[in-house]
Amino acid sequence: MGHSEGLHRRSAGLAGWSELAGRRDGLQGAAGLEMRAMAVEFPVVHGHPNRLPFEGVLTLVDVASDKAPSGAKGHRVVLTHAAAEAALPSLLGMAVDYKAGWDGHDARQKCGIITAAELDGQKLMVAGYLFARDFPEMEAKIQGSGLASNLMGMSYELADAHVADMRAQVWTLTRATFTGAAILLREKAAYRSTSFRVKRPASAGRRVAVAR
């Protein structure tokens, strides 16, 4: 079972969005790691031509970035676990975007939506859908033009970020609101341990979509 499917399946039967970690101690993973997850419910539509599932590691928490992200004025950053956990609800329903060249952000090129988020140890995992029919070049470029899934990563977009000490060499973010995420080459991301991959569902047969 893929990560995206797993996030949605654990929230099955709950209306709207649901916090799956209602208890303070959260969910316990197989290795005893604390996990917290949230997901937005969507009706199942088999073979939907504009929903291409994706999953990825958006960032790491309590770990300094490998390089300074955009907007950090040259500072590497640390997103605390507490800040990421508090901001999980703000991720749901936010868009993913991409930039030509796969080397940065373009908030106007919104090509999908985040429907689930989970803290698994130091990894902030996300899942959702790309708008495959609206952006057919996405899957083609990622899977068919030499950009193997192991080369792709993600980068978060924030607003209202609070830095504990602006004079510090590495900025510690203690509060923030997620406003979206970018899909880009992993080597271009502030965290090189991020990941991104699409999952093409099995097709029962060829379908033709007609706009009315």
**Letter string b/e over residues 56-88, b meaning 16 or more CB atoms within 10 A of that residue's CB:** bbbbbbeebbeeebeebeebbbbbbbebbbebb
What is the residue extent of each domain of the chain?
50-198
pLDDT at site 165: 97
Q: How sure is the predictor about 149, in pLDDT bands with cuts at 50, 70 and 90?
A: low
Return the pLDDT at 150: 79
Half-sphere CA count of 21, side-chain side, radius 13 A: 20
**Partner residues linked to 146 by β-bridges:** none
- Between these two residues, 202 and 195, which has the higher pLDDT value? 195
Nearest-5° Cα angle at 17, 13 to 22 = 85
Average pLDDT estimate for 80-102 = 95
Q: Is the pLDDT of residue 203 over 80?
A: no
* Residue 169, pLDDT above cutoff 70: yes
Which sign does the torsion angle of CA 127, 131, 135, 139 carry? Answer: positive
Please provide the average confidence, as pLDDT, over all residues in the chain: 80
Strands 110-120 and 34-40: antiparallel
- pLDDT tens-digit map of 111-146: 999 999 999 999 999 999 999 999 887 777 666 444
Q: Mean pLDDT over residues 155-167, rounded?
A: 96
